[in-house]
Structure 1
């Protein structure tokens, strides 16, 4: 799908303009408005967002580092393609190692209210993934994991996680993720994760996440 024709100017507030542009483009990619492989032209992005070329190029550079954009100097800037089937397992395992570490730190640091809320979110993700709303469950999981990374209270880990998570969720569509998993086994791992979060057991949560993403024991 091409860059939206309807203008949607960004009005700078407290955040850096580049960050606001980056978030708008990231959201469009994750929502599928900007499709994998789609060419991105500065002039179209400028017209859509109502900003100059500089913050757009800065944002695209950041998104390239996150794996959402592919850039070849003097040739193209495009939305990153999704993983081929033979690369899917490697991508799953890489993200599982990162998210497992996030869980290990975050779960013991959560208050009771956060643990209950996150556990319920895990259950909603489980029901959506294995029910009739896998796309919505993917979006819920993205938001939930971002919140968990915040609760780890480690700025270095948070930056590392946010630098990788959007690219992972884009490159591994939910359909590809589900093709890699046995539904019965996946359900068990997600239930184990919800239980570990409720119990405040960071080690069990880490192991459950690694099992979900098929990290070898």
Structure 2
């Protein structure tokens, strides 16, 4: 006999994702600082959950490079690894370029209005020095092309690597340099409104390339 309310599996999935989100955000915003030891029992007690979703979340965070998990040893919050951030930034930039290229001729007036409204809140948050609000508005703006593209694989990749880049974005959005993104966002929406896929893709590249200014030049090992 089938059931119409498979609540237990859904609840378990939501619980797992919520634990991951909370730990990820705590690492990104610095509440869990680099080198902080992550003890699954303590975290489970704080979050009011069992150890299982905490362990699953830590494994997922390790895949993104946000934590260092060594079997038989302590699991810690990873330092900001410049090479890892640079690699993640390149992947995130490529995914957003693909999103706007795919979505450029599909936007509705409502989609474009949501992007403009998110950019207005982004600008206001920067002006107020509210980095958390700026990050949230930035997420909302860039999520519109991702959603319109309808590419699930693209979203999966972004979910994994965006948190690595987000630690760098917090630095940028806390400076006056973040104001440049307001104008780039506006240009991006204009290009999308015009159905200019190539132009929108180029602006998207410029938006994500601004983060490179916060990283030192890459070092290359001596191959001689």
- Do both share a fold (TM > 0.5)? yes
Structure 1 or 2, whichever has the larger Rg, is 2
Structure 1 residues 68-217: aligned runs within 5 Å: 68-84=66-82, 91-126=88-123, 128-129=125-126, 131-133=127-129, 135=131, 136-170=133-167, 172-176=168-172, 186=181, 188-214=183-209
Change (3 A) 1:212 1:199: same
Q: Which runs of 5+ in 2 are unaligned?
A: 1-7, 213-224
Q: Which runs of 5+ in 1 are unaligned?
A: 1-10
The 8 Å contact of residues 125 and 134 in structure 2, kept in 1 or not, is answered as yes
Q: Distance in 2 between matches of 1:29 and 1:184?
A: 25
Q: Distance in 1 between matches of 2:146 and 2:203?
A: 16
Q: Distance in 1 between matches of 2:42 and 2:73?
A: 17
TM-score norm. by structure 2 comes to 0.73
| Number of aligned positions between the proteins | 202
Q: Distance in 2 between matches of 1:14 and 1:175?
A: 35
The 8 Å contact of residues 196 and 202 in structure 1, kept in 2 or not, is answered as yes
Change (3 A) 1:119 1:196: farther
SS of corresponding position for 1:64: helix
SS of corresponding position for 1:161: helix
User: Which 4+ stretches in 1 moved above 6 angstroms?
Assistant: none
The 8 Å contact of residues 184 and 203 in structure 2, kept in 1 or not, is answered as yes
Q: Distance in 2 between matches of 1:189 and 1:13?
A: 39
TM-score norm. by structure 1 comes to 0.75
Q: Distance in 1 between matches of 2:103 and 2:65?
A: 25
Q: Distance in 1 between matches of 2:173 and 2:40?
A: 32
Decide which structure has greater helix share.
2
